[in-house]
Structure 1
């Protein structure tokens, strides 16, 4: 995506295209009414909304669209009122490989919304139309921003700012997930931290992990692993300044399995200090860190 940004800024071209390749799953088993037509319609309309909305002014080819998914768990339905949670995931390809690395993996438990079958779903940046539209639009920009951040240092900020605009508009209508009172793992907190100068180490780590590590893996695996090991040390500094911070939890929820696999095979490097740091900054993932070969 970074190359696309540079190219079109240079050329002064503002062509538009859809940015996401999003799959949507609706799981309504907990309602006891999973066969209702409304769930099939909702899946179809949300898939179209995520994939056919033009979120940016970038010209993105079909094969360059960001792979992502939404798994919506509906626990209760009462007329047009839905009680639900949503699991959001995204990934991006690693250079010179067939491997897609996970970039974002987050479970939003504050996802209650109203929906009437066949209601139009359109994103308007200046208005609050529904909590359903605001939540999905927020995650569309967060996914795009995190993806851009892996290609260019600070590349995601314009998209996080757009997500902040959604936060500011939505919190005037709905509180759950959108306000400072929504807890430490809310959409509000995620957006605040992604834009905060206090978490600059996170932005640096996200970029270096992908561009100086994974994208270099095909050229020199050992050096790439050493680079990633050094990059992960940044979370030690982040922990010292903000113990148990939200962004670190999001990162390791996304990357723990990949990190464990990466350092459990292939060219061996000294990882004793790395394991110590990982157990300190992400102790809940200790079962993964035990797989790393010292």
Structure 2
């Protein structure tokens, strides 16, 4: 009887925490010319189980609160247990009062080389380097969690970004690309360093204002919601004045450019001529989209 009670307590305690992510994982090996090799299918299945079944935080997530995201791994070459690849990571969160999901994180990580033996154990250690495969995946999981939390509360992602930085720091010992300052200005190192830097403080403010004060209010008042989105984007002007053409600006608009075009090309009319001018200056790579905005 005591054993039964103990077992029930364990089960209840385990169920008090639910996994945070609903992540679709795809391993695409077409570029290798051997996409049907079993190891790629095994890798895909193991990664999906690892990401979705690992408990990444001490928060309680209801099934409907799990963050929808995807990771597409494009393998370009492999030799025995050495894989050369890139990974496209995307996440979205629901908009209040609608069936629409808004993109939040959209990151193309081109430095994703790793070792993998079929059926190897996949274990995440919060304070210790296990493998580059685990580190890269865990890093992006915490970036997803951090950015998602920032859209719901000011600086809501602090603890998740802190863990992403811990991963970045201890993963330098693996001598894989993407974890060090000298790995270029579009690396994982630069991404988390910039997110946590006061130099780019407006980035996180905009994440909150754009989503919580803007998109989430559109179901109540579409025009006021649009005006709030426009006002939030003005905050990026200050960041751009301080550091023109920053990497975080690209990260933001990789996720948001198409959505911004759609928001301001329909619905109630608002005067956003100043916003179009600002967008053209701070994100000129999307100038064709800004030209489509009607006001």
TM-score range normalised by the length of the shorter chain: over 0.9
The corresponding residue for 2:201 is: 200
Q: Does 1 or 2 have the higher relative contact order (CA < 8 Å, sep 6+)? A: 1
The structure 1 segments of at least 4 consecutive aligned residues displaced by more than 2 Å after TM superposition are: none
Deviation of 1:17 after TM superposition, in Å, equals 1.8
The corresponding residue for 1:284 is: 285
Which sections of structure 2, spanning at least 5 residues, go unmatched? 1-14
The corresponding residue for 1:20 is: 21
Deviation of 1:127 after TM superposition, in Å, equals 1.5
Q: Contact 2:96 / 2:216 at 8 angstroms: preserved in 1? A: yes
Q: Contact 2:113 / 2:176 at 8 angstroms: preserved in 1? A: no
Q: Contact 2:24 / 2:70 at 8 angstroms: preserved in 1? A: yes
Structure 1: distance between partners of 2:233 and 2:17: 36
The corresponding residue for 2:78 is: 77
Matches within 5 A, 1:155-170: 155-170=156-171
Q: Contact 2:22 / 2:52 at 8 angstroms: preserved in 1? A: yes
Matches within 5 A, 1:22-61: 22-61=23-62
Structure 1: distance between partners of 2:124 and 2:16: 19
Corresponding residue SS for 1:73: strand
Considering only aligned residues, what root-mean-square deviation do their CA atoms show, in Å? 1.0
Structure 2: distance between partners of 1:200 and 1:15: 35
Structure 2: distance between partners of 1:200 and 1:256: 20
The corresponding residue for 1:94 is: 95
Q: Deviations over 1:36-62 (max 9, x none)?
A: 000000000000011000000011011
Deviation of 1:15 after TM superposition, in Å, equals 4.0
Q: Contact 1:175 / 1:182 at 8 angstroms: preserved in 2? A: no
Corresponding residue SS for 1:171: helix
Q: Deviations over 1:78-113 (max 9, x none)?
A: 110000000000000000100000001010000000
Q: Kindly name which structure, 1 or 2, has the bigger radius of gyration based on alpha carbons.
A: 2
Structure 1: distance between partners of 2:138 and 2:169: 13
Structure 1: distance between partners of 2:282 and 2:200: 15
The corresponding residue for 1:245 is: 246
Q: Contact 1:20 / 1:51 at 8 angstroms: preserved in 2? A: yes
Matches within 5 A, 1:124-273: 124-273=125-274
Structure 1: distance between partners of 2:182 and 2:17: 37
Which sections of structure 1, spanning at least 5 residues, go unmatched? 1-13
The corresponding residue for 1:5 is: none
Deviation of 1:271 after TM superposition, in Å, equals 1.3
Deviation of 1:199 after TM superposition, in Å, equals 1.2
Deviation of 1:173 after TM superposition, in Å, equals 1.7
Q: Contact 1:90 / 1:103 at 8 angstroms: preserved in 2? A: yes
Structure 1: distance between partners of 2:213 and 2:130: 41
Structure 1: distance between partners of 2:161 and 2:242: 22
Deviation of 1:68 after TM superposition, in Å, equals 0.3
Structure 2: distance between partners of 1:231 and 1:224: 11
Q: Contact 2:206 / 2:233 at 8 angstroms: preserved in 1? A: yes
Structure 1: distance between partners of 2:175 and 2:258: 35
Deviation of 1:175 after TM superposition, in Å, equals 3.8
Structure 1: distance between partners of 2:239 and 2:60: 35
Taking structure 1 as the reference length, the TM-score comes to: 0.94
Taking structure 2 as the reference length, the TM-score comes to: 0.94
Structure 1: distance between partners of 2:25 and 2:82: 19
Q: Contact 1:18 / 1:53 at 8 angstroms: preserved in 2? A: yes
Deviation of 1:121 after TM superposition, in Å, equals 0.5
Structure 2: distance between partners of 1:98 and 1:34: 36
